[in-house]
Amino acid sequence: MSSPEWQGNNETYNDAEERRVLLGALSSFYQYAKVAHYNTTHLRRQSFYALPRAHWELLAQPPFSYLETLDAVDSAIDKNAELAAAILEAGLQSFGLTQPSNQETIKQDDWRELATPNDLEKARSSLRQFYRDWSEGGRAEREACFGPVMRALRIERSNRSGSKLRVLVPGAGLGRLVFDLCCDGFDAEGNEISYHQLLASSYILNHCPEARSHTIYPWAHSFSNHKNRANHLMSVQVPDVNPGVTLGNVEGAGQMSMSASDFLLLYSDEDQRDSFDAVATVFFLDTAPNIIRYIEAIRNCLKKGGLLVNVGPLLWHFENNAPGTHGREKDPSHPSGSCGIADPGSVELTDDEVVALVEKLGFEIELRESGIAAPYIQDPESMIQNIYQATHWVARKK
């Protein structure tokens, strides 16, 4: 297995703004257990005992046993925290950092206290995402969105007489699609800007000792829409496979790499021109403030005749943001003057308009499907089901 450690760790840590964001992400995994216990069970215990005494005494007894439920949720959080701690330790090692001892007084610049509320929520959601990307239970979700990509790329490889294809996966998240592509014989490069996702994917791809080495409880934080407590406290083991061992046993496996960078800044660069045979955008295009920029970057890094394979909804991530508040503001030192995703301006298009835009920007649509049922980190037993009706299309660069 070609170890997919990130490119540019030293450069990242030496940049003041990037260092701040990275340390905030590390801090959020450090604080996961404390914050989760407080928000999920401590506050509920207070609310429980605020009930009339006769009411809480009733609910404390079987068949409700509500206090025992809170104890079980605390235990579930502790199991989740073991994965958070492993991600933290691997991240500290990657950047040559150490964790201060518990006896040390927390100083003003101590990274352990740098996490923002947004950082803390991202850490929690990243842990829950392991259900989708790296558990047996998430297989159906992965098939719904990765399946169309794999089929399109296999057809393309067949049409090219089995030649090795180089595929870019922007918004790679926890790295599962990149891993699956490499297992299928493609050379795959993942790109991700979120340090929470990068820290988590780096751990699972490079440092996790064996398959099923962690048990997580993906639904433990929410008490809503559960049919029963067994479902609320359902656990899964992650990862479902050991990435290194699995990829090492695949004959003809592809090469894997990961880049930790702003997609627009990296892949709009002249150095990336005509670099990839295909770009796979899965639940990615709607993360664009300005989708024209995304399509231009994809066009730049695709070879002539290369494929853009898309699967996903259009949940525009910055729809309700004020102008200019949708990215990390950075010094526009890039040769094009671009701040990447932090460029001002945003727009939201319909599915028909996105396809029309892709055609306007130099692509030919070869396949288009809609209405693909695609859940996203969805509890299949929940009393509420949020399932996207995703679109899938394949476009070729003219």
Is the pLDDT score of 342 beyond 70? no
> pLDDT tens across 130-166, in order?
999 999 999 999 999 999 999 999 999 999 998 899 9
Is the residue at 384 inside a domain? yes
Q: Residue 364's CB: how many other CB atoms inside 10 A?
A: 11
Which two three-digit tokens encode residue 26? 């590390």
Tens of pLDDT, residues 24-82: 999 999 999 999 999 999 999 999 999 999 999 999 999 999 999 999 999 999 999 99
Give the tens place of pLDDT for each residue, 69-126.
Answer: 999 999 999 999 999 999 999 999 999 898 877 655 555 558 999 999 999 999 999 9
- pLDDT band, very low/low/confident/very high, at 335 (cuts 50, 70, 90): very low
Q: Length of the chain, please?
A: 398
Long-range contacts from 290-296, C-beta under 8 angstroms, 24+ separation: 290/343, 290/345, 290/346, 290/347, 291/347, 291/349, 291/354, 291/357, 292/347, 292/357, 292/361, 293/264, 293/268, 293/338, 293/343, 294/263, 294/264, 295/357, 295/358, 295/361, 295/363, 296/268, 296/361
Q: Residues of the chain with pLDDT > 90: what percent?
A: 84
Q: Establish if 271 belongs to a structural domain.
A: yes
- For β-strands 236-238 and 363-375, DSSP reports them as unpaired
Inside any domain, residue 116: yes
Instruction: Give domain status of residue 218, yes or no.
Output: yes
> Residue 2 domain-assigned?
no
> Does residue 389 register a pLDDT over 80?
yes
Please report whether residue 107 resides in a domain: no
Question: Could you list the residue range(s) of the whole structural domain that residue 296 is in?
Answer: 9-96+112-323+336-397
Residue 373 has pLDDT above 60, yes or no: yes
pLDDT tens across 302-327, in order? 999 999 999 999 999 999 876 655 55
Measured N-to-C along each axis, helices 195-202 and 16-37 cross at an angle, to the nearest 10 degrees, of 80
Alpha-carbon distance of 376 to 378, in angstroms, equals 5
Kindly state whether residue 292 falls inside one of the protein's structural domains: yes
Please classify residue 102 by burial: count the beta carbons closer than 10 Å to its beta carbon, then call 0-12 exposed, 13-18 middle and 19+ buried.
exposed
Q: How many domains does the chain have?
A: 1
Inside any domain, residue 13: yes
CATH code, domain carrying 278: 3.40.50.150
